[in-house]
């Protein structure tokens, strides 16, 4: 949809320059798990962007010296050259040359770093691929002036981010982002995410997300491999049906400020995601003993206090503890006394619903 052979730089003297974006990770409430075709989702998903878990990407460009047709890229992660990441990025940028043909006319140095420890087991593809997509769209706009309109800019950035990593499509927006076609949201698309703004009770914009590190170990199965395993999962079709139902119920909870329904759907989504991993062939388990201990401690705490505090999980062992700001003191006391002792090295990251990407 965005292929454009006209985006070729005509001038002989390309000035070297630099573009940088900080882009956040996000937490999905209704999960994307299962894809087809070119990074298209089997069901719609919705997430909120985080405030602190971000990737900073600096993209330097200059005219290409040689005549080769490929992508010329140097890549540094945290100031160190990183060959495995570089190779992945070159492959991605090569695929982007029909959208951004000018990529072949330039040489690039990309420097990237995450605000969260790489080993913390936090998904970095959403923040890193969205940061890169934003840089590419800024670059197009700088050379051609084609993306002046903010809506058009973000839609294209989301489309490009999706091709890098599905969940990255949702990180382009502040607050809530929705990706995937659903008849209940006008303008929703499988090709890019859209901001989900209008029908969200203000309480949800005050939500905290404390990421409790149950284990810092490398994941045994990547998300990309996990999506592929959905193809032969006997529960797949029911899951996609359920995701659509959950979407409808969650949007209604967001609209009415129904915290109890929000929590019920969010926790179900997290557990179903992991149940799908356990029912794949071959099966795998990303939760760790500490993950279950934390869930049990949380359920006990909630039963005793009746406070609206809930959990979610990504494709990893860490707990995301979700609650509105007005109960922060009580939840903080519970986290300190009961959950931190269960975290690896007592580590956790206090995050919250975020304000979206920032051009640096
Ligand atoms: C569990 O977006 O990481 O976080 O498209 O293969 O890069 P790829 O997968 P990815 O999958 C994320 C899965 C999830 C749920 C979600 O974010 O919706």
Give nearest CA residue, ligand 1 atom 12: 167
Taking residue 272's Cβ as centre, other Cβ atoms within 10 Å add up to: 18
Domain span at residue 273 reads: 202-358
Query: So what's the pLDDT on residue 348?
Result: 94
Ligand 1 centroid–CA 30 distance in Å is 11
Query: So what's the pLDDT on residue 119?
Result: 59
Does residue 29 sit within a domain? no
Give tens-digit pLDDT for 242-282: 999 999 999 999 999 999 999 999 999 999 999 999 999 99
Does residue 289 sit within a domain? yes
Asked if the model's pLDDT at residue 199 lies above 70, the reply is yes
Give tens-digit pLDDT for 11-44: 778 899 999 999 999 999 999 999 999 999 999 9
Greater confidence, 1 or 259? 259
Query: So what's the pLDDT on residue 118?
Result: 66
Ligand 1 centroid–CA 223 distance in Å is 6
Give tens-digit pLDDT for 179-197: 999 999 999 999 999 999 8
Query: So what's the pLDDT on residue 220?
Result: 78
Contact status, residue 243 vs residue 44, Cβ threshold 8 Å? yes
Distances (CA, A) of 42 to 179, 195, 272, 280: 11, 20, 15, 16
Go through 236-262 and write b for each residue having 16 or more CB atoms within 10 A of its CB, e for each that does not.
beebbebbbebbbbbbebbeeebbeeb
Ligand 1 centroid–CA 120 distance in Å is 17
Atom of ligand 1 nearest to the CA of 315: 1
Give tens-digit pLDDT for 61-75: 999 887 677 899 999
Asked if the model's pLDDT at residue 210 lies above 90, the reply is yes
User: In the structure, what pLDDT confidence band is assigned to residue 116 with cuts at 50, 70 and 90?
Assistant: confident
Does residue 153 sit within a domain? no
For tokens 């975290």, name the residue. Answer: 343
User: In the structure, what pLDDT confidence band is assigned to residue 121 with cuts at 50, 70 and 90?
Assistant: low
For tokens 């913390």, name the residue. Answer: 120
Query: So what's the pLDDT on residue 14?
Result: 85
Asked if the model's pLDDT at residue 216 lies above 90, the reply is no
Ligand 1 centroid–CA 211 distance in Å is 17
Q: What percent of the chain is predicted at pLDDT more than 70? A: 98
Does residue 32 line the site of ligand 1, with CB under 6 A?
yes
Atom of ligand 1 nearest to the CA of 224: 6
Domain count, the chain: 1
Q: What are phi and psi of 265, to 5 degrees?
A: -70, -45
Does residue 124 line the site of ligand 1, with CB under 6 A?
no
Ligand 1 centroid–CA 10 distance in Å is 38
Does residue 127 line the site of ligand 1, with CB under 6 A?
no
Among 13-27, 83-97, 209-223, 278-292, the least confident range: 209-223
Query: So what's the pLDDT on residue 174?
Result: 96
C-alpha 207/C-alpha 242 separation (Å) is 25
Ligand 1 centroid–CA 313 distance in Å is 12
Give nearest CA residue, ligand 1 atom 4: 314
Q: Mean pLDDT, the chain, as a whole number?
A: 95
Ligand 1 centroid–CA 227 distance in Å is 8
Among 53-57, 63-67, 195-199, 290-294, the least confident range: 63-67
CATH number at residue 287: 3.30.70.890
Does residue 285 sit within a domain? yes
Ligand 1 centroid–CA 38 distance in Å is 14
Among 154-158, 220-224, 316-320, the least confident range: 220-224
* Predicted TM-score of the model (pTM): 0.96
Asked if the model's pLDDT at residue 290 lies above 90, the reply is yes
Does residue 231 sit within a domain? yes
Mean pLDDT on 47-72: 91
User: In the structure, what pLDDT confidence band is assigned to residue 217 with cuts at 50, 70 and 90?
Assistant: confident
Give nearest CA residue, ligand 1 atom 8: 165
Give tens-digit pLDDT for 75-91: 999 999 999 999 999 99
Give nearest CA residue, ligand 1 atom 3: 223
C-alpha 34/C-alpha 26 separation (Å) is 18
Q: What percent of the chain is predicted at pLDDT more than 90? A: 90
Give tens-digit pLDDT for 128-152: 999 999 999 999 999 999 999 999 9
Does residue 140 sit within a domain? no
Query: So what's the pLDDT on residue 277?
Result: 97
Does residue 139 sit within a domain? no
- Indicate the Cα dihedral angle 357, 44, 284, 271, nearest 10°: 90
Does residue 336 line the site of ligand 1, with CB under 6 A?
no
Taking residue 342's Cβ as centre, other Cβ atoms within 10 Å add up to: 20
Does residue 62 sit within a domain? no
Does residue 269 line the site of ligand 1, with CB under 6 A?
no
């Amino acid at each position: 949809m965005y292929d454009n052979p006209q985006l070729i730089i005509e001038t002989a003297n390309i000035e070297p320059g630099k573009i940088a974006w900080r882009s956040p990770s996000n937490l999905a409430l209704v999960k994307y798990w299962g894809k087809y075709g070119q990074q298209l989702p089997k069901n719609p998903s919705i997430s909120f962007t985080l405030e602190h878990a971000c990737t900073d990407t600096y993209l330097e460009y200059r005219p290409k010296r040689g005549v080769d047709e490929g992508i010329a890229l140097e890549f540094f992660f945290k100031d160190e050259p990183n060959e495995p990441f570089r190779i992945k990025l070159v492959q991605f940028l090569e695929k982007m040359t029909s959208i951004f043909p000018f990529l072949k006319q330039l040489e690039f140095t990309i420097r990237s770093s995450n605000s969260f420890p790489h080993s913390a087991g936090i998904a970095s593809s959403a923040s890193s691929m969205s940061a890169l997509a934003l840089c590419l769209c800024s670059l197009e706009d700088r050379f051609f002036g084609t993306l002046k309109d903010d809506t058009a800019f973000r839609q294209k950035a989301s489309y490009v981010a999706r091709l890098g990593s599905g969940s990255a499509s949702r990180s382009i927006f502040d607050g809530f982002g929705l990706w995937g076609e659903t008849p209940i949201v006008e303008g929703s698309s499988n090709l890019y995410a859209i901001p989900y703004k209008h029908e969200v009770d203000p309480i949800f914009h005050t939500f905290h997300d404390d990421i409790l590190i149950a284990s810092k170990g490398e994941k045994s199965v990547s998300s990309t491999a996990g999506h592929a395993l959905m193809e032969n999962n006997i529960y797949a079709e029911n899951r996609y049906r359920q995701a659509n139902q959950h979407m409808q119920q969650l949007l209604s909870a967001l609209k009415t400020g129904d915290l109890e329904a929000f929590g019920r759907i969010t926790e179900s989504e997290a557990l179903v995601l992991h149940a799908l991993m356990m029912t794949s062939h071959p099966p795998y388990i990303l939760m760790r003993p500490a993950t279950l201990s934390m869930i049990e401690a949380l359920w006990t705490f909630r039963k005793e206090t009746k406070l609206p505090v809930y959990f979610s999980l990504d494709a990893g062992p860490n707990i995301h503890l979700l609650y509105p700001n007005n109960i922060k003191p009580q939840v903080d006391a519970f986290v300190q006394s009961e959950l931190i002792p269960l975290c690896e090295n007592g580590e956790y990251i206090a995050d919250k619903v975020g304000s979206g990407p920032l051009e640096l």
